[in-house]
Structure 1
Amino acid sequence: MEEVEMDNILLKYMGNRFQPKIVDPRKGMFRGGPVVTISRECGCTAINIANRMAEKLTLKTGNRWTCLTKEILEHSAKELNLAPEKIEYVFNSPEKTAWDDIFAALSSKYYQSDRKIKKTISDVIRGFASRGNCIIIGRGGVVLSQNIQRSFHMKLHAPIAWRAAQLQEIYKLSTKEMVDYAMEIDKKREILRNYFNKEPLSNTVFDVIYNAKNLSEEMIADASIHLMELKGVLGKQMVMR
């Protein structure tokens, strides 16, 4: 009798633990969402657009939408029992080699491998995406939520000169310094996305790509919500021809 009860407890635990990862065999997609991911080139601000969308989607759907950036780090760090700043470097550095892992492990008894950190981050992001009603900014979210049925993926880009000018307003450095900085950050973000994707990421994974130079934040937010409705992320899906 005790053995049967233990089996039931384990089944219940496993069901709850992995519930967001139930697969719909008809489409090979994971149930969950709705979720929005925003990828961006350095110098294209996403947080204001995300906040506008969250407010509008909360009113439209009656469910509270949240924007996720630093929260992903905080949840991942909690899972690893580390401070958030201890794992933030994985977003800002090239992938380590096996030898890098070995030397780091020897130098610190608190060492956590890049792979373990990235695996935890991916699990956290997939968990948020599966539960839905969230907007994930960067962090490889576009890759990690591709199999969520009700998902919408957008990207912000703009000419490098325009992006450098936006960065100059913040950092007060020269145009060349800002161009170099933007290109460096773009490369680091690409490395992370490619790591999660296992190969170079194509722009075809995005539902829409906006030119942030020519479109206001309000325009991008409203257009995205309209496209989400047409795609069926928020309700009935339009028949595509």
Structure 2
Amino acid sequence: MGNSLMNYLNSRLKEAKAREYGNMHEAGPVITISREVGCNGLVLARLVAERLNKNLAKGSWNVLSKEIFYESAKELDLDPEMVRQTFKKTDRYVFEEILKAFRDKRYKSEERIIKTVKEVVRTLAIDGHCIIVGRASHIIASDIKNALHIRLTAPLGYRINTIMTNNKLNRNEAIAFIEKVEKERATFRKALKENNLHEDVFDITINRGSFTNEQAVDLIEFAVEKKGILHEFSPRIEFH
């Protein structure tokens, strides 16, 4: 991850932690995107950020996904991969991890890692001007008024073709990849004690098989305007 984005995360978290958020009307604006595997959620998120920045202010919106693990790892003084793997385990209590707790002074409990990731997601969502892809952000930020929560779906055939193209896999490999990642995401939500998607939280659901990228961005921009999540905020320039 580039230094500019790391600097952005550091400054935003420091400022957010220094503020009081008793009134959720002052939080955000934030856009969360939950997606089925193979919906090109990150691609769409970057296009949305580009559109918002073009129409509002250059560099004011940022897309966050894996960056959540980088920032959480920094706060915990751990390798980002260790944080990521915590949420991929299906067997949460393995003997090797118990031994590691005694060997490694930097060992952090699973509970602390999970708590830190949730805090990072929530702090960034509250501070706003970001599009958070995945990480159960729609659940963590469900009480923020100035938020737009999006769910991306698509027919299985569309998603298989997308994974085949993006990852250079054959059909069977793409199907196996989709199943694997969906299980990992379910494990992530379970670790956060959120076993379902909370579909009632989503403001709009977009079928990626029915709309082009540009059309999907048009729909999201329209929803941003109609829900009014930007009305109380003036855009700000963060970094280049």
Match for 2:52 among 48, 57, 74? Answer: 57
2:138 paired residue number? 142
| Residue 124 (1) aligns with residue 120 (2) | yes
| Residue 19 (1) aligns with residue 7 (2) | no
Distance 1:232 1:202, change over 3 A: same
Instruction: Give the TM-score of the pair, scaled to structure 2.
Output: 0.80
| Structure exhibiting the larger radius of gyration computed from Cα positions | 1
C-alpha displacement at 1:109, in angstroms?
3.9
State the AA in 2 paired with 1:233.
I
Q: Is the 1:44–1:212 contact (alpha carbons within 8 Å) kept by the matching residues of 2? A: yes
State the AA in 1 paired with 2:106.
Y
Distance in 2 (alpha carbons) for counterparts of 1:211 and 1:116? 36
Match for 1:164 among 160, 165, 168? Answer: 160
**Identical columns (%):** 32
2:108 paired residue number? 112
C-alpha displacement at 1:41, in angstroms?
1.1
2:5 paired residue number? none
Distance in 1 (alpha carbons) for counterparts of 2:190 and 2:197? 6
1:46 paired residue number? 41
C-alpha displacement at 1:58, in angstroms?
2.0
Distance in 1 (alpha carbons) for counterparts of 2:178 and 2:16? 42
Distance in 1 (alpha carbons) for counterparts of 2:117 and 2:138? 13
1:9 paired residue number? none
C-alpha displacement at 1:84, in angstroms?
1.5
Q: Is the 1:194–1:201 contact (alpha carbons within 8 Å) kept by the matching residues of 2? A: no
Instruction: Give the TM-score of the pair, scaled to structure 1.
Output: 0.80
Greater RCO structure (CA 8 Å; 6+ sep): 2
Q: Is the 1:77–1:83 contact (alpha carbons within 8 Å) kept by the matching residues of 2? A: yes
Q: Is the 2:88–2:187 contact (alpha carbons within 8 Å) kept by the matching residues of 1? A: no
State the AA in 2 paired with 1:216.
T
Alignment coverage as a number of residue pairs: 217
CA RMSD of the aligned region, Å? Answer: 2.4
Distance 1:173 1:57, change over 3 A: closer
C-alpha displacement at 1:68, in angstroms?
0.8
Distance 1:136 1:118, change over 3 A: same
Secondary structure of residue in 1 paired with 2:33: strand
1:230 paired residue number? 226
C-alpha displacement at 1:16, in angstroms?
6.9
Greater mean alpha carbon deviation, residues 142-151 or residues 91-100: 91-100
- In structure 1, stretches of 5+ residues that fail to align are 1-14, 237-241
Distance in 2 (alpha carbons) for counterparts of 1:127 and 1:143? 13
Q: Is the 2:28–2:146 contact (alpha carbons within 8 Å) kept by the matching residues of 1? A: yes
Secondary structure of residue in 1 paired with 2:192: helix
